[in-house]
């Protein structure tokens, strides 16, 4: 009887899906990528403990070589990619081409596979092609998790060819706070099947060619959304995005070769120029490890500070006819400054409490944390209003009157490009220069690429189960 239960344990362990974090990667913004560009992006993603890029692409005859180059670079650096087929606009995928591309790329060693060793395939939109997927899956055995925002989750999951679902609701509506209502709706409909939860830090787009000119709420969103991930513990998380410069929610490095979107999208100005977002990756190793550990603990390798804000106060320049919300999503529009606040936002990753201060144009501003972690270890967060001040921004982190970290940020200015407010965010970060106190919660194991691959493939629980069986025998 004991042997029977151990065999059941082994069988159950084989079905365990390991948690993973993806970053949505716009292949169209890598037209001019060199091998060095791919290597830089993949190295940065691995450093952030991201498991794979979800490669978003519509169908065109030019993408096969681009994908070949991407998978080759990923294989060289022991990183994973998977296809997120884009059915929007001109990128609709013919069924036969889906089959051809999946046959070509899902067999590659760098293709991401789930815990059951099936290649993961996703989409952006495409519910009109739902009928294609029965035949596609007959030809290519894959694990299919689409993003079909045009259908209710109950309807989407009712199709037998669907193995899980992704939501695109990573931003709240207007001034509403970000909630997990949509996530919970998806998870309830899925009844235990995998859910890809979207996380994004920002949204501003102004691309005339595509009739896009609106903002959605960013502000505290990067902090808030990761707290919601820790609350819900979904199977997967997808960051929106790695390199969508045209929608301002990139967290990856800015490559000049990837900024052609501002030309072909007929943007009135390049609103990503001089606006790095790399700082939003600084705390990802900690929060991703915490998510994968079920919120129990994660190691802080370095304490540090991140700050972000808009460099143009809302009243300083023309709005550029940008709206808060968009009629294209059947939303009630409002002024952009109602959606995005004129504030300096800051987060710190700390072993124990520390103090925060902000100066604008040399004038000290009272600052404090609005959110602190239980037990004192973790991510602290807060913000202060700009109050129409302009000038140099300095954000300083201290403990016991000793400097830990300081960000000398981009000046806030009323000097706007083409007299248009840039609704994008500038993000800065700094690593602590002070001694790190002992963790009140103890330390956990450092991230290891080999163990990460075992977790990703679902082999860790299987190995444990077999070990138990062998010990019993």
* DSSP class per residue in 4-52: HHHHHHHHHHHTPPPPEEEEEEEGGGGTT--HHHHHHHHHHHHHTT--E
Per-residue pLDDT of 108-137, as tens digits, reads: 999 999 999 999 999 999 999 999 999 999
**What's the predicted TM-score (pTM) here?**
0.89
Contacts of 283 (CB under 8 A, 6+ apart): 304, 306, 347, 349, 379
Cis peptide before 135 (omega within 30 of 0): no
- At 223-273, the pLDDT tens digits run 999 999 999 999 999 999 999 999 999 999 999 888 999 999 999 999 999
* Structural element, H or E, at residue 104: helix 95-105
Domains and CATH numbers, the chain: 18-293 (3.20.20.80), 304-431 (2.60.40)
Cα-based distances in Å from 66 to 35, 347, 371 = 11, 37, 43
pLDDT of residue 90: 66
Do 392 and 347 form a contact (C-beta atoms < 8 A)?
no
User: What per-residue confidence (pLDDT) applies to 89?
Assistant: 73
> What's the pLDDT score for residue 284?
98
Contacts of 308 (CB under 8 A, 6+ apart): 201, 222, 279, 280, 344, 345, 346, 425, 426, 427, 428
Would you say 414 and 390 are in contact if contact means Cβ atoms under 8 Å apart? yes
For 376-387, the pLDDT digits (tens) are 999 999 999 999
Q: What is the pLDDT of residues 65-95, one digit of tens each?
A: 999 999 999 999 999 999 999 999 766 899 9
> Which single residue is written with the structure tokens 């998978």?
71
The predicted pLDDT at position 21 comes to: 98
Q: How many CA atoms lie within 13 A of 200 on its CB side?
A: 27
- How do 363-365 and 391-399 pair as beta strands? unpaired
What are the DSSP calls for 299-345, one per residue?
Answer: --SS-EEEEEE-SS-GGGSB-TT-EES-GGGT---B-HHHHS-SEEE
Strands (E), 200-292: 204-207, 212-215, 236-239
| Strand locations in 413-452 (E) | 426-431
Instruction: Check if the beta carbon of residue 142 is closer than 8 Å to that of residue 163.
Output: no
Per-residue pLDDT tens for 2-43?
443 343 333 333 344 589 999 999 999 998 899 999 999 999
Structure confidence by residue, pLDDT tens digits, 174-191:
999 999 999 999 999 999
| Structure confidence by residue, pLDDT tens digits, 393-452 | 999 999 999 999 999 999 999 999 999 999 999 999 999 998 877 654 443 333 333 333
Rg (CA), the chain: 23
**Could you tell me the CA-to-CA distances from 278 to 27, 242, 263, 282, 453 in Å, in that order?**
19, 10, 23, 7, 25
| Average pLDDT rounded to a whole number, residues 270-291 | 97
User: CA nearest 237: which of 467, 21, 1?
Assistant: 21
d(CA 203, CA 210): 15
Task: Report the C-alpha gap between 268 and 275 in whole angstroms.
Answer: 16
pLDDT tens-digit readout, 445-472: 333 333 333 333 343 444 444 443 444 4
Point out which residues pair with 84 in neighbouring strands. 56, 122
Round the average pLDDT of the chain to a whole number and report it.
Answer: 90
pLDDT at 473: 41
112 burial (CB, 10 Å; 0-12 / 13-18 / 19+) is buried
Residue 315 has pLDDT above 80, yes or no: yes
Residues whose CB is less than 8 angstroms from the CB of residue 8 and which lie 6 or more positions away in sequence, other chains included: none
């Amino acid at each position: 009887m004991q042997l029977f239960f151990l065999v059941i344990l082994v069988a159950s362990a084989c079905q365990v899906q390991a948690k993973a974090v993806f970053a949505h990667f716009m292949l169209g913004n890598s037209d001019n990528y060199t091998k060095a560009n791919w290597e830089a992006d993949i190295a940065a993603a691995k450093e952030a403990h991201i498991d794979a890029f979800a490669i978003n692409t519509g169908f065109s005859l030019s993408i096969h070589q681009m994908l070949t180059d991407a998978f080759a670079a990923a294989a060289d650096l022991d990183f994973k990619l998977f296809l997120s087929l884009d059915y929007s606009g001109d990128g609709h995928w013919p069924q036969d081409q889906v089959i051809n591309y999946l046959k070509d790329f899902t067999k590659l060693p760098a293709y991401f596979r789930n815990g059951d060793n099936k290649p993961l395939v996703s989409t952006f939109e495409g519910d009109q092609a739902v009928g294609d997927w029965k035949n596609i899956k007959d030809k290519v055995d894959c694990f299919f998790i689409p993003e079909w925002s045009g259908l209710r989750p109950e309807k989407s999951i009712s199709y037998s060819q669907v193995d899980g679902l992704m939501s695109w609701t990573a931003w709240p509506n207007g001034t509403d706070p970000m909630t997990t209502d949509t996530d919970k709706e998806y998870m309830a409909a899925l009844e235990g099947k995998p859910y890809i939860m979207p996380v994004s830090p920002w949204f501003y787009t102004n691309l005339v060619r595509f009739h896009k000119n609106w903002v959605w709420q960013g502000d505290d969103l990067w902090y808030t959304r990761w707290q919601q991930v820790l609350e819900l513990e979904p199977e997967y998380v997808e960051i929106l995005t790695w390199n969508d410069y045209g929608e301002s929610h990139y967290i990856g490095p800015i490559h000049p070769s990837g900024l052609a979107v501002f030309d072909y999208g007929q943007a009135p100005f390049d609103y990503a120029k001089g606006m790095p977002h790399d700082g939003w990756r600084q705390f990802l190793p900690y929060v991703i490890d915490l998510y994968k550990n079920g919120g129990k603990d994660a190691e802080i390798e370095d304490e540090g500070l991140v700050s972000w804000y808009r460099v143009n106060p809302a009243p300083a320049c023309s709005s550029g006819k940008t709206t808060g919300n968009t009629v294209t999503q059947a939303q009630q529009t409002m002024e952009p400054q109602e959606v995005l606040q004129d504030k300096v936002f800051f987060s710190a990753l700390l072993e124990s409490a520390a103090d925060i201060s902000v100066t604008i144009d040399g004038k000290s501003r009272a600052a404090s944390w609005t959110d602190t972690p239980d037990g004192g270890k973790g991510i602290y967060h807060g913000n202060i209003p700009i109050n129409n001040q302009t000038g140099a921004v300095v954000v300083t982190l201290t403990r016991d009157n000793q400097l830990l970290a300081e960000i000398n940020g981009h000046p806030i200015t009323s000097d706007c490009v083409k007299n248009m407010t840039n609704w994008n965010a500038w993000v800065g970060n700094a690593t602590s220069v002070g001694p790190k106190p002992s963790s009140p919660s103890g330390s956990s194991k450092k991230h290891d690429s080999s163990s990460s691959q075992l977790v990703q493939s679902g082999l860790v629980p299987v190995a444990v189960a077999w070990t138990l069986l062998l010990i019993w025998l």
